[in-house]
Amino acid sequence: MDDCVVIALFRHGLTEGNIRKAYVGWSDSQLSSAGKQQIISLKKMIGKYEWIVSSDLGRCCETAAILFPGQPIDKRSGLREMNFGSWEGMTHQDLEEDPDYIQWLKNPFTDKIPQGEFFLEFEKRILLEWCWLVEATIDKRVSRVAVVTHGGVIRTLLTNFAPEERSFWDWNIGHGRGFELVWKKKAFRRESRCTLLREVPLTGNLNG
């Protein structure tokens, strides 16, 4: 594996907002007790990583600190979840009579969230952040990188870089779970799809 680059994408643990099924994008919500336990359990089953990168939101930073105690963490605002604007902290029940919300549910990839992001704005932000990550990984000459971020971010990256093409909603991204994407170094420089995708903990390959 000396000629390979591994990028691991970890989703933060379950939060209090997740338990309420609230839209929590740029606002923050602390890890729940169950969420902390998820990450403590995950820590026992993952390998070593040379460089740790995280969304700058507290739930991801807390997850990263538990997973990688004592290691420096590069915190990046570009790795935040989608901005849910005026819907931040609200639930489906809170919004189900809002006409903007009803319309957005019909067209989530094309309609703008009030005071929030279009999906294409979100995707562009994540892909620009990915370009930075690739260049920085090459510059640092590291081959194993862990990224702690959010479900929507991971879905976006897997949609664009997993070996098998799947749609955004076809990816099941559980809290406190992760994926390792593996490239040959030359292919990684080209920002092509990875050659191997596996769950973390390593329960098996996902690319068929």
- Give the model's pLDDT for residue 1: 57
- Give the model's pLDDT for residue 158: 98
Return the DSSP state at 73. E
Q: Which residues pair with 183 in a beta bridge?
A: 5
Count other Cβ atoms within 10 Å, centred on residue 156.
22
Q: What is the mean pLDDT of the chain?
A: 94
Which residue has tokens 């990263």? Answer: 64
**What is the model's pTM?**
0.93
Q: What is the pLDDT of residues 12-57, one digit of tens each?
A: 999 999 999 999 999 989 999 999 999 999 999 999 999 999 999 9
- Give ∠ CA 154-158-162 in degrees, rounded to 5: 150
Which distant-in-sequence residues (6+ apart) come within 8 Å of 5 by Cβ? 137, 143, 144, 145, 182, 183, 184, 185, 188
Q: What is the pLDDT of residues 64-84, one digit of tens each?
A: 999 999 999 999 999 999 999
In terms of CATH architecture, what is 4-200? 3-Layer(aba) Sandwich (3.40)
- Give the model's pLDDT for residue 197: 97
- Give the model's pLDDT for residue 189: 87
* Res. 10: pLDDT tops 80: yes
Tell me which of 145-149, 168-172, 198-202 is least confident: 198-202
Contact in structure between 178 and 46 (CB atoms under 8 Å): yes
Give me the residue spans of the domains in the chain: 4-200
* Res. 202: pLDDT tops 90: no
